[in-house]
Amino acid sequence: MQLKPLQDRVVVQRLEEETKTAGGIIIPDNHTEKPSQGKIVAVGTGYRLTDGSVRNLDVKVGDTVLFGKYSGTSVKVDGKEVLIMKEEEILGILQ
């Protein structure tokens, strides 16, 4: 069973803090919401423009992304917990 997000939503698998690669993201203490890392596992069909056409998302399956710690909604599909969020909530891609 697979979860296909609608439109500009993506499904993200959160990366565990301990699976962080050397030189990876370490979240410093600051006043703003601390971002988390995750891997894109599914993307929607894209943004629906006002003229009816569709704009592809900038992220693709497999991308490692940064997003706000409280972004998205957590669900379990086939026993694996994932997050559904809007692409807008993704801060950047790690390359």
Q: Which residues bind its own copies (CB under 8 A)?
A: 1-7, 9, 11, 21, 23-28, 30-33, 35, 42, 44-45, 47-53, 55, 58-59, 66, 68, 70, 72-79, 81, 84, 87, 90-95
Least CB distance to its own copies at residue 44 (A) = 8
Nearer to its own copies, 19 or 32 (CB): 32
Beta strands 80-86; 73-77: pairing state = antiparallel
Nearer to its own copies, 24 or 61 (CB): 24
For 4, half-sphere exposure in the C-beta direction (CA atoms, 13 angstrom radius) is 4
Least CB distance to its own copies at residue 28 (A) = 6
Least CB distance to its own copies at residue 56 (A) = 9
